[in-house]
Chain A
């Protein structure tokens, strides 16, 4: 398990915020409204703990955009919002109200794109930070119970390390809490650790 000191956590947070800023800029341009993204919180934990943390906030059902990433270390990135909030987010983004309670197909695609932009930005930041080449796949959409999607039930999953970010998404005076996770495959932890150590030595 990777653990950070207060100082180290701050360093991570700041760098991720910069990355988020870029995503926010891209999103703002798309929607011609000010979109603000911030990362108030970063930590390393297990899948199980990450899932528990999300559910603590009362979001048992979630919608997630996930992208696989690869390079020196590999795994999945995930952008998670509570199910009800994702609808709110998409619709305020598109600036259209749809008198339906489910996300339409087109809205789902938009949600995926928003996730794609944010996740690519985060991945880009990490890659920069750790001086590594990291590439990512196309996003896919998940909807369901938190425990099912985040897993943590399989034995193989218990080795995975999650870099957990809490993210604030603000648009038009609306503020929605989401989460971003880097779920790093257990076999890649060592490589990740080395990179992080390298980075921290310069902090």
Chain B
């Protein structure tokens, strides 16, 4: 507190006040000016002489009643301080920064502070302090302009981004349509008979097309993700099935390189989870395909575990481990960036765009997880990722626990530890007593030991390719050859079943035949069948193909709504392959007309059609149905942007397929939506190509009348002509048998022999191998052969033919052959 009477200070203080770079006015109790500093004098252009002693009203008459004036009064009367901000009162006092501005009338922008000054015994005074804030105000105006400009720019960018996305969406449709055509046609060509040179050329073209499509999809995906348009679904799905599907998809690739592929899922992983299965599948496919691509030998294993579920959430932990070429630490830090691969040479050697991992990382991030890599060059890599998924309240179709398998002893023979591990996990779930060995000799040893101990193995599951000098088939022969172990039922597991291997397997006494990757449900069904625990119309050999083919056999009229001629051809070709009969509609009107004429099992509806598009047509169809019968409508759309699925579903469609549509996708969709075949599928065991109508009652040592493998090949070759051919065969056989019956009493064994020869030929051609054998017997009749014997042979032929005939009849009636 400065003593006001300090003499030496007073002049100094005065000087200081006049030196201040802000306005200072002091008013006394009567509101008279007692201090008016230099700054004020200059800014107001009022000299101190004029100001001192005057009131503010007198100096500035226009200010009466203003807030400044009121605030001064308030300060003097009540001791209240006040602030007048520039924002709310630009320039309360008529002050100017310079003569020029005064001329113009541009006031200085001011911030005013009014404070009471209490210094007893003096009456209350009031200080008015004025600060020039013009530059500050200008600065803020500039700031505002810039901010607004920024906002407008941001808005323009947003619009541009949207325009780009819209463009991409359109282009994707334009590009996908012809791609659909190209790939579809090439697929169809590949399924026709080709010579090796043609096969090679077409395969190359197809794989190029595939790569192009992948690239296109990746680019679209990435641009969608980077535009922040990625939206994840949240639907329940079966985790086990999803991984099995993915492994299935990758299996052939791995097999071709001689790399073992397996999936190990820990039992705590919930069966049903909630999330986006498509995107999860995309992540897994991406990582697995990379792993396989960069692995020349050894194995690729997908390990799935999870953390304990909490709050209806579970964190899935997946690791894709390979024994591949690995990556240097440097490379590891780059790989997640777009368009980079581990190093330049990998692109040349291994191909690819380098987008996959970038997309994968985005997807994983979207699932609130993280993606990491560990790798040692030359040894392999592990790509780990986590994802947060919901736990579904109620489980989706839970496969029944096989109580019938409980406690049964099974021996697994596989050289790869990982294969044994995978199978052990599965078999343990069903409560089977498991033992695993690595090769044939060990297996034989184990089987014998067990048999001797009185606890024999009921089943043995053998890998076809084993180390130790003995392969699966040889082992089977060995097992069946020893009386002690001959009773063990055998199942053979190979990477990819080749048609025809079935015969060799059967010959070795093998009762079940599965291809890797073995799906849980397939293994289950096969075990049950081989153990005789299912009500079986038994073929002696249950293969993956038979199980699947039954599914592929479809009855039912399908309506295809597609205006593009190429797409039509492709779709029809595929439907034919799948054994479905289809009618074609060119637009929505034709669809409605067709549905009025007859009922269809399913409609495949292109969304973009002229005149009446897919959506409108569907609405109309649903309206007409009114809620009674519901024909499944599947959308086929080239657009794959978010919202399309919803649009389709909202319009009343049941599902949607994204173009280009592959045979597999179509098959799956038809399986899902077409009404089931009368034959139960899950435990489907009857091999339709090996039908044994009343076989249950037949002695099981009679082989099947028709060989599946041969029939299949025939069917492929003949297509529509198959039925006709069979009919021809039967017609001929009937005629031949008559001739023989007629020739026998005459002992015209030459004729018999000739005819029998022909019969043998055609029988084996159509796969009636046993019939052929019987016919062969008739070829060796001699003069010395007793007539009874000859008759016997003939009867045997007739009996066998009867079986064949029955089988053929059943076969032909069950197979829809696309006959118009």
Contacts and interface: CB of A to CB of B under 8 A. Distances in A.
Interface of A: 26, 30-31, 67, 93-94, 96, 98-100, 104-107, 109-110, 112-114, 116-117, 120, 123-124, 127, 133-139
A96 B88 CA distance: 12
- With most chain A CB atoms within 10 A of its CB, the pick from B113, B115, B144 is B144
Contacts of B151: 99
Contacts, number: 82
Contacts of B133: 106
20 contacts: A26-B67, A30-B67, A93-B88, A94-B87, A98-B144, A100-B143, A100-B144, A105-B136, A105-B140, A109-B85, A109-B86, A109-B87, A110-B87, A113-B83, A117-B82, A120-B80, A120-B82, A124-B78, A136-B81, A137-B115
Interface residues of B, number: 30
Contacts of A124: 78, 80
B116 A113 contact: no
- With most chain B CB atoms within 10 A of its CB, the pick from A98, A106, A109 is A106
B579 interface: no
Contacts of A116: 81-83
B83 A135 contact: no
A26 to B, nearest CB: 7
Contacts of B147: 98-100
Interface string B74-94: 100011111111111100000
Interface of B: 67, 70, 74, 78-89, 111, 113, 115-116, 118, 133, 136-137, 140, 143-144, 147-148, 150-151
B82 A135 contact: no
A114 B83 CA distance: 9
B76 to A, nearest CB: 11
Nearest to B115: A138
Given A30-B67, A127-B78, A109 B144 contact: no
Given A113-B84, A135-B80, 16 more contacts: A30-B89, A93-B88, A99-B144, A99-B150, A105-B136, A106-B86, A106-B136, A107-B87, A109-B83, A109-B85, A112-B83, A113-B87, A116-B83, A135-B116, A136-B81, A137-B115
Nearest to B89: A30
B74 to A, nearest CB: 7
Contacts of B137: 106
Contacts of A105: 136, 140
A99 B74 CA distance: 37
- With most chain A CB atoms within 10 A of its CB, the pick from B70, B78, B118, B136 is B78
Nearest to B118: A135
Contacts of A133: 78-79
Contact of B78 (A26, A99, A135): A135
Contact of A138 (B78, B81, B140, B143): B81
B298 to A, nearest CB: 56
A110 B82 CA distance: 12
A112 B80 CA distance: 14
Contacts of B118: 135
Contact of B85 (A26, A106, A120, A135): A106
Contacts of A112: 83, 85
A29 B148 CA distance: 29
A123 B144 contact: no
Contact of B148 (A30, A99, A110): A99
Contacts of B86: 106, 109
A105 B138 CA distance: 12
Contacts of A135: 78-81, 116, 118
Contacts of A109: 83, 85-87, 111
Chain A to chain B: the 3 pairs with minimum beta-carbon distance, closest first: A135-B79, A109-B85, A110-B87
A127 B147 CA distance: 45
A120 B147 CA distance: 35
- With most chain A CB atoms within 10 A of its CB, the pick from B111, B113, B116, B143 is B143
Nearest to A110: B87
Contacts of A113: 83-85, 87-88
A161 B460 CA distance: 87
Contacts of A100: 143-144, 147
Contacts of A136: 79-81
B77 to A, nearest CB: 10
Contact of A123 (B80, B89, B143): B80
Nearest to B114: A138
Contacts of A98: 144, 147
A106 B140 contact: yes
A138 B67 CA distance: 16
Contacts of A139: 81, 83
A62 B148 CA distance: 27
Contacts of B82: 116-117, 120, 138
Nearest to B116: A135
- With most chain A CB atoms within 10 A of its CB, the pick from B84, B85, B115 is B85
Contacts of B140: 104-106
A113 B85 CA distance: 6
A120 B143 contact: no
A137 B148 contact: no
A58 to B, nearest CB: 24
A124 B111 CA distance: 24
Contacts of A31: 88
Contact of A110 (B70, B81, B85, B144): B85
Contacts of A94: 87-88
Contacts of B79: 133-136
- With most chain B CB atoms within 10 A of its CB, the pick from A109, A114, A133 is A109
B64 to A, nearest CB: 14
A113 B81 CA distance: 11
A113 B111 CA distance: 11
Contacts of A114: 88
Nearest to B82: A116
A123 B82 CA distance: 13
A180 to B, nearest CB: 15
Contacts of B67: 26, 30
Nearest to B65: A29
